[in-house]
Amino acid sequence: MSGGAELFPGPDRDAAEEILGRYPTAHRQSAVLPLLDLAQRRHGGWLPPAVVDAVGDYLGMPSMRVRELVTFYSMFHDRPVGRYLVQVCRTTPCWLRGSDEVLAGAREELGIAPGETTPDGRFTLVEVECLGACADAPVVQINDDYHERLDGERMRAWLRDRRRAEDD
Amino acid sequence: MPTLSIDGTEIEVAEGTTVLRACEQAGVEIPRFCFHERLSIAGNCRMCLVEQVGVPKPLASCAMPVTDGMQILTRSERVQAAREGVMEFLLVNHPLDCPICDQGGECDLQDQALYYGRVRSRYREAKRAVTDKDFGPLVKTVMTRCIHCTRCVRFMDEVAGVPELGTMGRGEDMEIVAALDGCLHSELSGNVVDLCPVGALTSKPYAFAARPWELSHTESVDVLDAAGSAIRIDSRDGRVLRVLPRVNEEINEEWIGDRSRYAIDGLAVRRLDRPWLREGGAFRPVTWEAALAAVATALQAAAPERTAALMGDLPGLEGMTALADLMRARGVASVDCRQDGGAFGPGEPASWRFNAGIAGIDRADALLLIGTNPRREAPVINARFRKRWRAAGIPVARAGPVTDLTYPVTELGAAPQVLAELAEGSHPFADVLERARYPLIVVGSGALARPDGGVVLGLARRLADTVGAAGPVWNGFSVLQRSAARAGGLELGIVPADGGLDAGGMLAAARAGGLDFVYLLGADEVDPDAFRDTFTVYQGHHADRGARYADVVLPGAAYTEQAATYVNTEGRPQQARPAHPPPGDARPDWKILVALARELGSPLPYESLDGLRSRIAAAVPHLAHIDQLPPPAPLAPFGDPDGALDAAPFEEMVPDYYRTCPISRASATMAACARAVADA
């Protein structure tokens, strides 16, 4: 077990210790999901293999077990993603309420297909299954925020505004 | 103890029993893919569904603990329908390529599809295809066939202790992957082939070699290490095509090491299949008569005190007995079964046996390893150490070089001096052993083959007394042998008589021109160059080191070709059985020696295998009790605890796990494994 100094430098060290403190000391491994989340936030929204291994070392887990988790949970990314991760829900309620149009709007505005990242590295577009906000369908999750009751045009507008705001 | 009814029959089972186990106890078979007795419960294949009366949904019986008063139905229409549904889902993505699949004929999925499969598929969509993975030279992958039972992942994680397999992704995208392409870094990796219930993981060297129904099965015992694992030899047309483990709870449970399983291609190459005679520096094939006459002439010309016989790592009791009898009848004192020079106390069985017994490991509550790397010397025994550590978290310490044994080890360093501290009781780990109820002290055979082997033996023995490890109820003083022949030779008392030379003495004498005749029975781990000027007879099955400078080569049989008794490291005699006759003119070892004795004009007192075995039983009665542990050895002190230890550290005795004997050195598969490990 390494001290995690390189993995979680500076203030993140305290955050990591706080997360570990939530679990019994004999079960450090229980902290793996929140620590992976912390690590992902500190490494540009994705988990490079070396970081995954480092989390395993930090918790005394075989790196294979950590890799399994990273590939199992859709919230973890083992490949680089854009600064804005646009996750369009396509499960039945959203679909009935027009998620196809929302997705089409995002595709047109960004010029990429689901699963792709814009060449400038700013936006990644993906389709996901139920985000659990069906009452306000159709729903898109962008990073940590939900955008609800969207349509194609509102989707485009949001992306356009974001891009302009960044360009300025 | 809860009572439940299974298909209307009442049965009482132990608390915590699962429904699947209870059904087995009631004699009801439950189909399964992911469940395996020796692995943790995964509960992911759903094939073991049963019905509980009053419960709306079927239960996965492998993961459901029994409760009192449960009424289980295993043959209802609902159960049949549920299992047919599971099977239909499993077959959604499983290819129907049984005709070109090596698992065909011994496939759980194929067998169970007979009972739970639909006649026609209703599935019209595309099947998924999965890229094959590179698991190295032993395990072939056809990943599209994988049904994600995760037995291989759990085996590597839990039993092998090398967590290199894992599941990536989920649902339809789930795949089994290895941490590194090119090889699995475990000496037990071949067992995942046996565990795989479908044809996703099959044996690479055996690919497309045979169908299971074409093979003859011979139940035998492995000799490529000293554990004496139970094996089944599958052969066809006079050729061993594969070796599989058999269950023996007392030794290998149901695993075997990769060398034991995969070195068999070495049995078909570099074989000595006819007698050879060296003339003018070159070998010439000769008849048995000419070869035996040449040996007899040379033996008769040599004075007994300038004659020696040395046994190697692979001969059985019968061959060694015949050679020792022949030599002793001629007054030859220099007869030794310890080609590596191990300092086992002659006449002290406790000094060469794994006295605690391999099953005794399951009781040990503290373990000290002295000069041994059990992972390479006996992988199934190391798996048992790991199993014990997993079950009870026992403290383990080692005096020897640092290697990964797959469980945590307190390193005491490789310098042998630590033994003296332990034996005095002044080392902290001596306290750990002393506090343990079943302390286990395992001494490697390599540590005893050092120049100061007698001192190491004596100190380890004294340590056993210091910490109370050697008593009449529990004798935790245990020697881990590396070669299948050694314990047997020692049980037979094949050590030099008074005035005779041991293995080291023979080599020194030969180099100094003091030997006229030496008989090597499968002795390949000595420097054959020493016998350059000595008339050397090599009897064995491979043209390896021992045959290099021989004057006469007598072709013997390998362990798959002759009836022979082997004594494992515990002192347990077991019988190897021939799967087919030896190749060409080769003969069973004992027959060659009986014929030689006749040629010498002084026949041995037996002419048959039964006669020879009676002779062994008369000399050492417990060797006739096949498969039984020997009676406990007396607890006399032995070794030389007051001698001086060398400064040299304990060394790794098995630098290359894959090539340790003439058979494995001849194996292309083993060479490929050694390369894969070196490259990785």
Query: A110 to chain B, minimum CA–CA distance in Å?
Result: 27
Q: Do B179 and A65 touch (CB under 8 A)?
A: no
- What angle do the packed helices B428-435 and B417-424 form, to 10 degrees? 50
Q: Is B327 helix (H, G, I), strand (E, B) or coil?
A: helix
Contacts of B408 in chain A (CB under 8 A): none
Contact A76, A40 (CB under 8 A): yes
Task: Return all residues near B285 (Cβ < 8 A) that are at least 6 apart.
Answer: B274, B275, B276
Q: Do A71 and B179 touch (CB under 8 A)?
A: no
CB atoms within 10 A of CB B140: 22
Query: A157 to chain B, minimum CA–CA distance in Å?
Result: 34
User: What residues in chain B have their Cβ under 8 A from chain A's Cβ atoms?
Assistant: 157, 163-170, 179
Which residue in A75, A152, A90, A166 sits closest to A123, CA to CA? A166
Selecting from A62, A63, A71 the residue whose C-beta is nearest the C-beta of B168 gives A71
User: What residues in chain A have their Cβ under 8 A from chain B's Cβ atoms?
Assistant: 62-65, 67-68, 71-72
pLDDT at residue A5, as a whole number = 57
The first and second tokens of residue B290, run together, are: 């000419």
Q: How far is CA B225 from CA A36, B176, B184, B274, B512, in A?
A: 44, 31, 20, 27, 33
Nearest CA in chain B to A49: B179
Angle subtended at Cα B136 by Cα B130 and Cα B142, rounded to the nearest 5 degrees? 25
Contact B310, B518 (CB under 8 A): yes
Q: Do A65 and B166 touch (CB under 8 A)?
A: yes
Contacts of A26 in chain B (CB under 8 A): none
Query: B252 to chain A, minimum CA–CA distance in Å?
Result: 26
pLDDT at residue B512, as a whole number = 96
Q: How far is CA B68 from CA A95, A107, B75, in A?
A: 48, 59, 21
Contacts of A64 in chain B (CB under 8 A): 163-166, 179
Which of A52, A59, A66, A68 to mutate: most B Cβ within 10 Å?
A68
Q: Is B612 helix (H, G, I), strand (E, B) or coil?
A: helix
Q: 3-state DSSP: chain A helix, strand, coil percent, rounded to 5?
A: 50, 10, 40
Query: A111 to chain B, minimum CA–CA distance in Å?
Result: 27
Nearest CA in chain B to A67: B168
Contacts of B185 in chain A (CB under 8 A): none
Which of B152, B167, B406 to mutate: most A Cβ within 10 Å?
B167
Which of A1, A71, A77 to mutate: most B Cβ within 10 Å?
A71
* Sign of torsion over alpha carbons B121, B125, B126, B128: negative
Query: B165 to chain A, minimum CA–CA distance in Å?
Result: 7
pLDDT at residue A7, as a whole number = 80
Q: Do B164 and A71 touch (CB under 8 A)?
A: no
Q: Is B407 helix (H, G, I), strand (E, B) or coil?
A: coil
Q: How far is CA B156 from CA B38, B39, B192, B609, in A?
A: 12, 10, 8, 43
Nearest CA in chain B to A71: B169
Q: Is B411 helix (H, G, I), strand (E, B) or coil?
A: strand
Contacts of B166 in chain A (CB under 8 A): 64-65, 67-68
Residue spans of alpha helices (H) in B108-212: 108-116, 151-154, 191-195
In this structure, which long-range contacts are made by residues A41-47, counting pairs with CB atoms below 8 Å and at least 24 apart in sequence? A42/A8, A42/A12, A44/A80, A45/A77, A45/A80, A45/A81, A45/A82, A45/A83, A45/A85, A46/A77, A46/A78, A46/A79, A46/A80, A46/A81, A47/A76, A47/A77, A47/A78
Residue B146 per-residue DSSP state: -
Contacts of B42 in chain A (CB under 8 A): none
- Assess whether pLDDT exceeds 90 at residue A2: no
Tell me how many residue pairs between chain A and chain B have CB atoms under 8 A apart: 23
Q: Could you give the count of Cα atoms lying within 13 Å of A135 in the half-sphere of its Cβ?
A: 0
Q: In chain B, which stretches have pLDDT less than 50?
A: none
Q: Do A64 and B165 touch (CB under 8 A)?
A: yes
pLDDT at residue A74, as a whole number = 87
Q: Do A64 and B179 touch (CB under 8 A)?
A: yes
Q: How far is CA A30 from the centre of its chain?
A: 20
Nearest CA in chain B to A61: B163
Nearest CA in chain A to B179: A64
Q: Do A64 and B164 touch (CB under 8 A)?
A: yes
Contacts of A53 in chain B (CB under 8 A): none
Q: Do A67 and B168 touch (CB under 8 A)?
A: yes
Contacts of A65 in chain B (CB under 8 A): 157, 163, 166
Contacts of B168 in chain A (CB under 8 A): 67-68, 71
pLDDT at residue A73, as a whole number = 93
Strand partners, B478: B354, B442
The Cα–Cα gap between B224 and B663 comes to: 8
The Cα–Cα gap between B108 and B35 comes to: 12
Quick one: B23 exposed, middle or buried, by C-beta within 10 A (0-12, 13-18, 19+)? buried
Which residue in B596, B606, B532, B539 sits closest to B297, CA to CA? B596
Contact B338, B489 (CB under 8 A): yes
Amino acid (1-letter code) at residue A87: Q
Q: What is the pLDDT of residues A23-52, one digit of tens each?
A: 999 899 999 999 999 999 999 899 999 999
The Cα–Cα gap between A23 and A3 comes to: 17
Q: What is the pLDDT of residues A115-156, one digit of tens each?
A: 999 999 999 999 999 999 999 999 999 999 999 999 999 999
β pairing state of A145-147 and A140-142: antiparallel
Q: Tokens 């004498």 map to which residue?
A: B509
Q: Do B169 and A65 touch (CB under 8 A)?
A: no
The first and second tokens of residue B212, run together, are: 């299971």
Contacts of A62 in chain B (CB under 8 A): 157, 163
* Sign of torsion over alpha carbons B357, B358, B361, B362: negative
- What angle do the packed helices B589-599 and B288-301 form, to 10 degrees? 60
The Cα–Cα gap between B574 and B623 comes to: 9
Residue spans of alpha helices (H) in A26-74: 32-42, 49-59, 63-72
Task: Return all residues near A165 (Cβ < 8 A) that are at least 6 apart.
Answer: none
The Cα–Cα gap between B680 and B676 comes to: 6
Which of A59, A64, A78 to mutate: most B Cβ within 10 Å?
A64
The Cα–Cα gap between B604 and B293 comes to: 17
Nearest CA in chain A to B180: A64
Q: Do A63 and B170 touch (CB under 8 A)?
A: no
Predicted ipTM of the assembly: 0.86
- Assess whether pLDDT exceeds 70 at residue A1: no
pLDDT at residue A4, as a whole number = 58
The first and second tokens of residue B105, run together, are: 């004929």
Q: Do B170 and A71 touch (CB under 8 A)?
A: yes
The Cα–Cα gap between B385 and B480 comes to: 13
Q: Is B489 helix (H, G, I), strand (E, B) or coil?
A: helix
Angle subtended at Cα B138 by Cα B131 and Cα B378, rounded to the nearest 5 degrees? 140
Q: How far is CA A156 from the centre of its chain?
A: 21
Length in residues, chain A: 168
The Cα–Cα gap between B84 and B507 comes to: 69
CB atoms within 10 A of CB B443: 30
Selecting from A62, A63, A68 the residue whose C-beta is nearest the C-beta of B168 gives A68
Selecting from A64, A71, A72 the residue whose C-beta is nearest the C-beta of B163 gives A64
Query: B650 to chain A, minimum CA–CA distance in Å?
Result: 28
Selecting from B157, B163, B169 the residue whose C-beta is nearest the C-beta of A71 gives B169
Task: Return all residues near B23 (Cβ < 8 A) that are at least 6 apart.
Answer: B6, B29, B30, B50, B61, B72, B74
Selecting from B157, B163, B170 the residue whose C-beta is nearest the C-beta of A72 gives B170
Q: Do B165 and A62 touch (CB under 8 A)?
A: no
Contacts of A68 in chain B (CB under 8 A): 166-168
Selecting from B163, B167, B168 the residue whose C-beta is nearest the C-beta of A62 gives B163
- The answer, yes or no, to whether the previous bond of B395 is cis (omega within 30 of 0) is no
Amino acid (1-letter code) at residue B79: V
* Sign of torsion over alpha carbons B499, B502, B506, B508: negative
* Sign of torsion over alpha carbons A56, A57, A62, A67: positive
What is the helix (H) or strand (E) element at residue B566, kind and residue range? Answer: strand B564-567
